[in-house]
Structure 1
Amino acid sequence: MSPAATSSEERIRTYEDFARVHAYLLAAAGVPPSLHQRLYAKLADEVFDGGEVFAVEPCESGRQRRLVLAADKPLGKESDVFLVDHAWSFRLPDALKQLREVPGLAERMAALMCVDLDRRIEIEESDEQHSEKSGSLEHVLQIVEKERVRVREMGSDYAAWLELEELGIDDDMLVTLDLSVKFPNLVALNLWGNKLQDPEKVVQEIKKCAKLKALWLNENPVLGKNIDKDVLDGLSGLEIYNSHFTSKAGEWALGFCADIVGADSPTFSVECTLLESIETIDLSDRGIHKLPEAFSPTKLPSLSKLNIRGNPLDQISGDDLLKLFSGFTHLQELEINIPGPLGNSAISILESLPNLSLLNGVDCSSIIETGKHVVDSALEPRLPEWSPEESLAERVIGAMWLFLMTYRLADEEKIDETPVWYVMDELGSAMRHSDNANFRIAPFFYTILWPTHDVHTGEECTRDFLFGIGEDKQRSARLTAWFHTPEKYFIQEFRRYQEQLQSNRICASTKLEETPSTRSIRPSDGRALRVYTDIPHVEEFLTRPEFVLTTDLKEADIIWVSIQVDSEVKNATGITDQQYTNQFPFEACLVMKHHLAETIQKAWGSPEWLQPTYNLETHLSPLIGDYHTRKRDGMDNLWIMKPWNMARTIDTTVTGDLSAIIRLMETGPKICQKYIECPALFQGRKFDLRYIVLVRSFRPLEIFLSDVFWVRLANNQYTLEKTSFFEYETHFTVMNYIGRMNHMNTPEFIKEFEKEHQVKWLDIHGSIRSMIRHVFESAAAVHPEMQSPFSRAMYGVDVMIDNRFKPKILEMNRRVAMGADCSSSITHATRILLCLSLSATLCRSDPDLLVDFCVADTASPASLHLNGLACIDPAAARPEHFATSALSRATNPTPFGFNVTVTSPVSSLPGANAQGLAMARTDLAPGGVAPPHSHPRASEVALVLSGSVLVGFADTSYRLYTQLLRAGEAFVFPRAMVHFLYNVDAAAPAVVLSGLNSQSPGAQLLPLSAFRTEPRVPDEVLKRAFKINGQDVQRIQRNLGGSS
């Protein structure tokens, strides 16, 4: 793109135009002023001359590339600037589609990211041809003979060192070589990467080489056949076995790791003083449990640089290890795992070893200044991984997070909500990370690249992947996107975070202080309430005589607006604190996703109904620990990334890729939440539920929930196929802005859902109601400052149900646009304002209906739950609304020998709505029992219609009240008391008709509460509570239809 192509009105023709128009962008990009004119010249002529200056080289065995300076002359600091093209630009939802459809794109990206299949096949075929050629006995004998000649020249007692790596040597060839005869003083034998597989032959030949001190059998099939003990027992002097120190490791092994022992100098005498001159020793990844006795300040007095990474060192305490290291008075540089043998903190290590100048490659003074506890400058890079069956496009999707860059488009009015991701061309993508980078890049039309230090020919060119991001923004944790950082540290952070959450249970340990209920705000003179609104639905449909619309903000009693009414708005408009508004102070604690999770976690810790949730701006480390823990334990590791405060699933991503999770932080603040990978499905599709909650007060907590909700269905069948995560209509349900909307009305959904899953929706709805109340209790407990007598509000609560039919809170929104997704806007808008402002009649204080009856409106999804279900127009009532045949039929008994049919205003008796009653028919099989149970919200009177039934209940002092009833006799069970019914006749059934004083009485069976919960009550609790053993627990659980 030419710098002249910015706009037709302000066309750039000269460098002066360029510098003036792009002054802010140039400064923001950090481009040195001395390079501005050269940048303009290259942009104007589209000069891409990086290929003349740099070269791309393979590294990490071809799994990565690096960029080096190839020019004949060094490149001075800020001496030039280079253009880097963008090979691929896309928005994330389009990535897979483009890779599949754009010709050549997948092939180019696969090659750039080193995941191209064809090239690897060619390399493997070449390697196989080389292996066939070099694996001949003749070739091996040539190498053996060459070593024999060298030993003969050095003298008959000279030690031999044989390098026979990757020569295709098999068992018979090893026997034929007869190495013990040819080399009686063989001290090191390298057989790495051959074809040895017969344990007996290999051990027999190896044991003949009695003077071996080092043996490498790595990557031979025989290693999987438990030969280690036989080898170690048969070679008494072996100090290094398969790259690891043995328990016999001593001075020779230390000399090998210090490069004073090798093929050219295979041994040295005990009297030799070479160890005393050692300054550097690399003991990394040697499987060392306890350091050799020879590793001491006496034997190694000159040691100044030690690398001891990757060793368990579990047979020596951290304190003893620190004491040992402190004895090396010249030790300046130490590399060791943190967390690891010396503890979890770099600061603590430096306090014990104050003479160190570098710890894990990082300057010790900077560690102390920044307060970093975990440091490492030599992290192992993450390399792309894939499986053979994956297509090139799928491989690129998995590898791209190691290469992607991002920006957002913007104009003078706003920034684009959806970020653009891009991959630099082969030159730019070959630049690897360094904390001490010698180049810097910035997006500017293309991407521009310039040196920040002097760079010499052949030197690697690096950039800082996290330029400008320090530890205050979790730099060390964010490097996990590109490097294998210490898993142990992050798992410890995760455990610490879990412990903190468990100590945060405010709601579980305290009771909210009760204060007087809110009162009606209706004026005492009976005049109508003046309502100011900017919401069209309210203006159009608010027609009740209790309200009158006004356009004067200052005279309004109620202000119901779409904007945030904060102190700035109040000052600008003259709104007073005595005017009622449709929002509570500090409601961000509910409607912003990170605050909602934090509020719930402070109140309840980690409740089952909140998926594990992390604010990535503050809790990336425990998230990484959680991810590693799940991976280690074989658990599902799918996560969903959600922006703090964006609607319509903008910039929301589902992924199981840890690098992707971390990189997605770059497009704005987000939470990372455990994805509900096993949701309850409706006809194979994912769905969520939108509930409407009205809040009149937080102290006391007064909330009203509509029993009618909106069902939002995904358009595609649900699947966890990896490529499906790019399909919006498979994993997301909000279709208002994309795809085709797929909603259902409430009664139809309930009927079909109950039929499909064989469950009772009332049970699920009860769990949802309880969860929603807990959410608002969280806000009331954690943020008491939310309470305001002049605030009322309406919130949308999004809920999902998992495949165990347990509800999960997704998010909450301020609901100001009443009627936008309702079919009965007049009723809806009016009832909301009535409920929130005129409390007396419609919300809670009058125990009796103020109309003759309230037939349940089961057809309208706009209905609001005020006193039972919403009512239809009384003029539309019909006799059948007040009649039911639901109790006329016997039903099949449960394993206990009973079954119950209960009337419901939704499904069988709409005329009973709001009457505070329900009826139930209980069928008892011969000898059947309705086991001990309770109704938490109702008293019950039971009338025996036929048979002989023993009934009874126990009060809270455990006194039993029991009676044998025959046909025509009745018995009362007080509210919430545990009671039972037992058909004493073993030959004939019995029928009982009950009346309950609640249309939603609820029921809890004691046997199931103890032995059929999900998750299960711990066996130890049941054993102690019921004085039974573990076998009894399992038997009871099986008998009740559960898993033991």
Structure 2
Amino acid sequence: MTAAPETVPFDKWFEAHAESFTSYQYPHEMAQMLYDKLVHQAFDCGNYFSIDTSIDPTLLYTPADQTTPLTPGCNVFITDHCFAAKPKDIYSEWKNQTQLRERLAAFMEYGEAAQELTLEQILQKCDGKTLEIEFQELESIAPLEIATKFPHLEVLSLIGNNISNPAEILGLLAQLPDLKALWIGSNPVAEAEGIDKSILDLCPKLEILNAKFTKNWGEWALLYYAHNKNPALVANLKISGRGITELKPEAFKNFKNLSVLDITNNEVDVSKIKEIIPSLTSLYCDNKEQAPQSLQFINGADEKENVVSIPIPDRIWDHIQAVGEYWCLGDEIALSIHHSLEPNVAQMPVRSPLNGQSYFVFWPVAVINPFDEIKADLFPLIPLGAEVPAERPPLTPMKSLKSKFHSSVISKRPIKTYIDMDIFREHLHSDKFQLVDIPEEADLIWYTFKNFDDWKHIYESKILVDQIEGEECLTAKDYLYETCTQYMGQVPWLPETFILTEPEEIARFVQRNEELKKSGQSHVWILKAFQTARANLMICTDSASEVLRHASIGPRLVQRYLWNPLNIYGRKFDLRFIVLLKSVKPMELYAYKVFWPRLAPKEWALEDFDDYERHFTVMNYRAPGKVTPKTWVDFVQQFAVENPNITWEEVLNRCYIAMRDMFMCGCQKLVASPYSKAMYGIDLMITNDYQPVILECNFQPDCHRACNLCPTFVDDVFEVLYTDQPVTNDKVVFIPLD
């Protein structure tokens, strides 16, 4: 029989938790109280709280005496967790937990709180196009003079009133020639014989009647349910249960980037839907046998890859907490606590001194009266709630990077060269260079695994180096974005980015995510740690709460996922370019002509965002057996096949222009020196309208593939950077300033 583990003494337990107590602002004077409750397993939440399930599961304070308030410092309460997984396994574990998902079904989404407005407020709020007079108990609408006040109404909702006179409704509609959507449900008039036919005869432009599409439906009706005015921006569209009996190609024509469509609960043939919406990758429908097999996902399943998309909802991510090496989710009591920036409790994870098991605890931080809702700041470790500034700071003027002089090179031959990377040493064959074994003997030092820090010594000793002072403005993910936007503002060749260490940036991110979500646009994000490469600590998600949860445990930036990528072979790809910055001023920039395409192993779709092999392209380190071996020659040939309306040369030139602009921004901060030159790896993607988007600028990129495929690669790099002037090497292309 295994002996029970010894209870950890209070002093040691407190020492282990002291930093956490400080981070979560748990009063140290309450530590003994918490310790005692954990030791005695005093799980007494049921004596104080109950869950109101009438609309949205909500925790209420319901003491037995119905009179005693809770006050700060009076008590602490312990809840268990119902799910735990390591970060890399959390989605696969969640998918496998069918019973748990069923158990927590009521906690998956937040209920929508109705906005209660007076009739006067509703009329004042009307923008002249949309008027929603709902649940106002109106028996007559004539006194409102709707047609006189709003003659160009397009949307009118009268749901939930007591209107009974068909003539009054029809008389109003006759005065609204632009009306396209009408709701009269939950009114006696809706039951009048022939009312729908009379309305349709009277309103030839009407596309939506009582939430159903009329025979006149078209692009406008689709945009209405997308909550967007620009069809090209719509990535997700839900038109479930709209009474659709036929698909109209003309209505979908301008939805060029629509990727996910939910058309369930409609009696419609979807067998030709891929011809009508070529961009579609995911379809939700009633008859999956009818759906084209060329779709990647049908009803959330990729049957070719045996994958089912089961996301973790925002509401669940709101309550997941990092506990040691695990993500843990609280039980129903914890899940009933709603997020608020005006909380009356605070919460945190702790470990039991009995067995090390993790729990969630919460405690009052304000007076809580009986039947009050329990609210907490669910993200206490990040600064939520900042105001979004109305304007961004003005652009910084750029200094000229031109010069009447050429960049300088060393005339000494051979150049004594120290290289700390074996593969470069093995591939440097140019007689212009002579390898030495120690850096002290070198005229040129090439460090791959070390940063130079004594720049004064480098400048004074006139040693050639492969780094440039200040280059972190390009190679650090957060600095790259800040540098480029400082000088050029929001540019199409950088992803929309938010630095999640700044309160204003967090507020901007939350606001932007909500805007995208409400307007049917893709709200998928790539989350990155500041100083990582090779796709380490990168996460793809459509959950803003998951983004914020990761930002709680370390510095992160988030970039909008490229939701409309150009694909090759149906797969997402990025391109690795090697660029050589020979001089800061004059800015002298070259790109190696050979580039390296990297393809995701699985076909792309705007679904299943935890699938690394669908949404990421770098497989060398995480899944080396899944690397897709395509050369730049293969890529260019296939590009021509799949994109007959544009040449690769045109797109390549756009890539060079984007790289030029990025380095123009970076060179504003780099320290110009004739002794500093550098090689960088630029990763970029291309949108389906052929806009290059730079993902990263990598310091000392991995060049094993380049060395193996291009025998002269190392010689080319060293000669272009350090000996040739002018550069005549036909393996590189010069990227001019103009």
Q: Give the TM-score taking structure 1 as reference length.
A: 0.48
**Distance of 1:83 and 1:396 partners within structure 2:** 28
**Distance of 2:88 and 2:564 partners within structure 1:** 22
Residue aligning to 2:377: 464
Q: Secondary structure at the match of 2:704?
A: coil
Give, in angstroms, the shift of residue 684 of structure 1: 0.8
Q: Secondary structure at the match of 1:749?
A: helix
Cα distance 1:791–1:756, how it changes in 2: closer, same or farther (>3 A)?
A: same
Q: Does 1:199 align with 2:88?
A: no
**Distance of 2:527 and 2:165 partners within structure 1:** 52
Q: Secondary structure at the match of 1:532?
A: strand
Cα distance 1:634–1:786, how it changes in 2: closer, same or farther (>3 A)?
A: same
**Does the CA-based 8 Å contact 2:318-2:378 persist in structure 1?**
no
Deviations 1:682-728 (A, max 9, x none): 1111111000001111101112211111110011111123xx22221
Residue aligning to 1:407: 322
Which of 769, 777, 792 lines up with 2:656 in the alignment? 769
Cα distance 1:867–1:448, how it changes in 2: closer, same or farther (>3 A)?
A: closer
Residue aligning to 2:419: 533
The 5-angstrom pairing of residues 486-505 of structure 1 reads: 493=390, 496-497=391-392, 504=395
Give, in angstroms, the shift of residue 401 of structure 1: 5.1
Q: Does 1:109 align with 2:104?
A: yes
| AA matched with 2:312 | I
The 5-angstrom pairing of residues 976-995 of structure 1 reads: none
Which of 45, 69, 73 lines up with 1:78 in the alignment? 73
Cα distance 1:35–1:636, how it changes in 2: closer, same or farther (>3 A)?
A: closer
Cα distance 1:431–1:539, how it changes in 2: closer, same or farther (>3 A)?
A: same
Q: Secondary structure at the match of 1:704?
A: strand
Q: Tell me how large the CA RMSD over aligned residues is.
A: 4.3
**Distance of 1:102 and 1:402 partners within structure 2:** 16
Cα distance 1:802–1:31, how it changes in 2: closer, same or farther (>3 A)?
A: closer
Which of 401, 413, 427 lines up with 2:333 in the alignment? 427
Cα distance 1:391–1:716, how it changes in 2: closer, same or farther (>3 A)?
A: closer
Residue aligning to 1:644: 530
Q: Does 1:725 align with 2:612?
A: no
**Does the CA-based 8 Å contact 2:528-2:539 persist in structure 1?**
yes
The 5-angstrom pairing of residues 1024-1043 of structure 1 reads: none
Runs of 5+ unmatched residues, structure 2: 112-134, 141-157, 172-183, 196-283, 287-298, 302-307, 352-358
Which of 385, 400, 403 lines up with 1:475 in the alignment? 385
Residue aligning to 2:565: 679
| AA matched with 1:800 | M
Cα distance 1:391–1:555, how it changes in 2: closer, same or farther (>3 A)?
A: closer
**Distance of 2:422 and 2:319 partners within structure 1:** 44
Residue aligning to 1:556: 442
Give, in angstroms, the shift of residue 578 of structure 1: 2.9
The 5-angstrom pairing of residues 837-986 of structure 1 reads: 837-840=722-725, 844-845=726-727, 864-865=731-732
**Distance of 1:113 and 1:867 partners within structure 2:** 54
Q: Does 1:442 align with 2:348?
A: yes
**Distance of 2:485 and 2:169 partners within structure 1:** 60
**Distance of 1:684 and 1:707 partners within structure 2:** 25
Q: Does 1:57 align with 2:51?
A: yes
**Greater Cα radius of gyration, structure 1 or 2:** 1
Residue aligning to 2:463: 579
**Distance of 2:518 and 2:408 partners within structure 1:** 56
Which of 481, 492, 499 lines up with 1:597 in the alignment? 481
Which of 696, 712, 716 lines up with 1:831 in the alignment? 716
Cα distance 1:80–1:100, how it changes in 2: closer, same or farther (>3 A)?
A: same
Cα distance 1:20–1:682, how it changes in 2: closer, same or farther (>3 A)?
A: closer
**Distance of 1:201 and 1:605 partners within structure 2:** 54
Q: Secondary structure at the match of 1:104?
A: helix
Give, in angstroms, the shift of residue 201 of structure 1: 8.6
**Distance of 1:453 and 1:685 partners within structure 2:** 53
Residue aligning to 1:512: 401
Cα distance 1:790–1:197, how it changes in 2: closer, same or farther (>3 A)?
A: farther
Q: Does 1:68 align with 2:61?
A: yes
**Distance of 1:812 and 1:682 partners within structure 2:** 23
Q: Secondary structure at the match of 2:598?
A: strand
**Distance of 1:564 and 1:224 partners within structure 2:** 79
**Distance of 1:561 and 1:597 partners within structure 2:** 26
Q: Does 1:801 align with 2:672?
A: no
**Distance of 1:513 and 1:29 partners within structure 2:** 53
| AA matched with 1:776 | F
**Distance of 2:616 and 2:191 partners within structure 1:** 47
Runs of 5+ unmatched residues, structure 1: 6-10, 117-164, 172-190, 205-216, 228-386, 411-419, 478-489, 855-863, 869-935, 937-1044
Aligned residues: 560
Give, in angstroms, the shift of residue 819 of structure 1: 2.5
**Distance of 1:578 and 1:787 partners within structure 2:** 13
Q: Secondary structure at the match of 1:676?
A: coil
Deviations 1:552-586 (A, max 9, x none): 3333322222345353x679x99966322221111
**Distance of 1:777 and 1:88 partners within structure 2:** 49
Give, in angstroms, the shift of residue 802 of structure 1: 1.6
**Distance of 1:436 and 1:639 partners within structure 2:** 28
Cα distance 1:49–1:662, how it changes in 2: closer, same or farther (>3 A)?
A: closer
**Does the CA-based 8 Å contact 2:590-2:734 persist in structure 1?**
no
**Does the CA-based 8 Å contact 2:565-2:686 persist in structure 1?**
yes
| AA matched with 1:698 | V
**Does the CA-based 8 Å contact 1:82-1:450 persist in structure 2?**
yes
Residue aligning to 2:592: 706
Cα distance 1:449–1:71, how it changes in 2: closer, same or farther (>3 A)?
A: farther
**Does the CA-based 8 Å contact 2:385-2:507 persist in structure 1?**
no
Give, in angstroms, the shift of residue 636 of structure 1: 4.6
**Does the CA-based 8 Å contact 2:108-2:315 persist in structure 1?**
yes
Give, in angstroms, the shift of residue 437 of structure 1: 3.4
Q: Give the TM-score taking structure 2 as reference length.
A: 0.65
The 5-angstrom pairing of residues 242-321 of structure 1 reads: none
Deviations 1:413-452 (A, max 9, x none): xxxxxxx543211112222344453432222222222334
**Does the CA-based 8 Å contact 2:60-2:371 persist in structure 1?**
no
**Distance of 1:192 and 1:434 partners within structure 2:** 31
Residue aligning to 1:321: none
| AA matched with 1:465 | L
Deviations 1:361-412 (A, max 9, x none): xxxxxxxxxxxxxxxxxxxxxxxxxx999999978733435633332747xx
Q: Secondary structure at the match of 1:619?
A: helix
Cα distance 1:421–1:224, how it changes in 2: closer, same or farther (>3 A)?
A: farther
| AA matched with 2:376 | R
Cα distance 1:828–1:560, how it changes in 2: closer, same or farther (>3 A)?
A: same
Deviations 1:574-623 (A, max 9, x none): 99663222211111111122322232223333333334333343434445
Residue aligning to 1:273: none
Deviations 1:111-153 (A, max 9, x none): 334689xxxxxxxxxxxxxxxxxxxxxxxxxxxxxxxxxxxxx
Structure 1's consecutive aligned runs of 4 or more residues displaced over 6 angstroms after TM superposition are 201-204, 387-396, 573-576
**Distance of 1:790 and 1:22 partners within structure 2:** 51
**Distance of 1:388 and 1:438 partners within structure 2:** 44
Higher relative contact order (CA 8 A, sep 6+): 2
Residue aligning to 1:89: 84
